[in-house]
Structure 1
């Protein structure tokens, strides 16, 4: 689709027309138009979103603020929804950093935070921190402690009601944007995020997106605090919880619909995508094995099977996770066999139209298993189990006519 075609789609045309009218409206009319703009964004795919949300647009917003033509409450209403769409739909287009608005935004957070406690506007600070994390990629690590403090406080609300639930979801979604390389002192977040997760496990108060976001924030901390591993695996039961969430999401997606408008998947598909990212991080960082892992692997296989016809991006992500799982020594090969991983991958290779990237991941998966089956085991019982597992796997390959092929790949190709 050309840039001109994108700019003329109904959703972007409506968005741009409404934006051009904002500076001529009073505060109430601005709010109504921004709510319509937010609805238009819901209909956009990634290309449309990129076309509408430009550096120039943010520069114009900044200019309108400076000229007192746009009210701050309405600015935040618009920016929060832009950030929500950007992150929840995994568009992840960071265009705010380059605008003239960004430095002003950082200064506002610092200035508001430095006010005396009784003068500080916590609601404004929370809104600013949410926009900051949802829109930025090159955020200042000096501002992270401020953001974490106020957003965790907002995310800890347990009151019932749709409004509170949405506020909590926004706070957790913003926190999930803090990448794994950003160091946060554990006493700033650990007790609070554990309590948020535990409370949900007992009372089910979070939305599906909010719960996934809480785990993403937690998993991103693991790189710099390895002692979290036992808490994640044995206290909070990540594998059990992630498997349960995936099961519900798999059931809610219409995987077999004949036509799908490209780029406009349902929200459940985006959440599955986000879960797969967290699961990938989990297997990259955790070495502990428990029986709950087998159920999680089974769910990833089910996503792989379900997505292969109409959601190839999800299919690729799930096979990428499975490939990494097969290379982990803490994951038992027998569990991979029982989960149907090998059957699913063999059927994928048999497709008449192959996706090169997915095929490569499938072959890597087999090579990982092959290498692990070659490992010497000192314990005779373990060696017997290894041989039995190897025999089962190669019997499956032989049934499908792949034994010689896989052997050849293993001997001649380094992927």
Structure 2
């Protein structure tokens, strides 16, 4: 059973990376077995197997994308413990990445109070900003987990912008990633699967683009009557952004969704 759990955990991990949703899994007998195993492990007062529990949570949530509200707080607590590990060896980095990926699958309709996660997720993000201990995917999913909470808790705006410097970090990450992606691929290679860097870049843009495009539009509209006074317009910044959006850098669907 433990080997089966590890295998299915990696299947769930790949499903998230490839955006494959298995809607029928939550109705399967295996889904119910996982839920029963989690409850039994959580009930243990002594010698609770935290590693086994984390594997169960990661497997369960990344495959079913549906989770009983009663287990959410225990799940978040367990996975944050894994994600707080700071060792930089490859095995630990993979554990942290998978824990954060599972956390990012906990969408905004789940009720989670700030005290259940905020200090921990801030520590994870801030420690990475100083020490760069996370993989790029892990860092992306740490941000996703936090940003999903914005839908139900607007007070996080202050933390995201002024304490964790989302704008600065997003700009830096996108700049770094853009160096890794081969923008000048030959036409015959366009049908090939995207590399990990391209995936992270596109995934990052998906949750940044809505606010980004909205902000650019608002600035542009506000500036129409004050062209002489707006340095951004003098420098052609808006035109440059609009031109960039029209390039066939990403797949048509991505450009469409961003716009």
Same fold at TM > 0.5: yes
**Contact (CA 8 Å) 1:112, 1:120: kept in 2 or not?**
yes
Q: Which residue of 1 aligns with 2:49?
A: 121
Q: Which residue of 1 aligns with 2:242?
A: 345
- Are 2:253 and 1:325 equivalent residues in the alignment? no
- Are 2:116 and 1:188 equivalent residues in the alignment? yes
**Contact (CA 8 Å) 2:57, 2:75: kept in 1 or not?**
yes
- 5+ residue gaps, structure 1, are 1-71, 284-320, 363-415
**Contact (CA 8 Å) 1:95, 1:135: kept in 2 or not?**
no
Q: TM-score, normalised by structure 1?
A: 0.54
Identify which of 189, 199, 203 aligns with 2:131.
203
Bigger CA radius of gyration: 1
**Contact (CA 8 Å) 2:137, 2:200: kept in 1 or not?**
yes
Q: Which residue of 2 aligns with 1:178?
A: 106
Q: Which residue of 1 aligns with 2:173?
A: 245
Could you say if the C-alpha distance between residues 346 and 125 of structure 1 is closer, same or farther in structure 2, counting changes exceeding 3 Å? closer
What per-residue deviation string (whole Å, max 9, x for no partner) do you get for residues 167-220 of structure 1?
A: 111101110111122220111101000011110011100000000100001111
Distance 1:360 1:206 in 2: 29
RMSD: 2.9
Q: Which residue of 2 aligns with 1:88?
A: 17
Distance 2:143 2:257 in 1: 30
Q: Which residue of 2 aligns with 1:79?
A: 8
Distance 1:160 1:357 in 2: 33
Residues 119-198 of structure 1 correspond to what in structure 2 (within 5 A)? 119-198=47-126
Question: Displacement, 1:138?
Answer: 2.5
**Contact (CA 8 Å) 2:13, 2:98: kept in 1 or not?**
yes
- 5+ residue gaps, structure 2, are 224-229
Distance 2:247 2:167 in 1: 31
- Are 2:164 and 1:236 equivalent residues in the alignment? yes
Stretch of structure 1 that moved more, 338-347 or 125-134: 338-347
Q: Which residue of 2 aligns with 1:276?
A: 205
Equivalent residue pairs, number: 248
Distance 1:170 1:108 in 2: 20
Distance 2:109 2:174 in 1: 27
Could you say if the C-alpha distance between residues 336 and 359 of structure 1 is closer, same or farther in structure 2, counting changes exceeding 3 Å? farther
Q: Which residue of 2 aligns with 1:381?
A: none
**Contact (CA 8 Å) 2:62, 2:105: kept in 1 or not?**
yes
Question: Displacement, 1:267?
Answer: 1.0
**Contact (CA 8 Å) 1:215, 1:278: kept in 2 or not?**
no
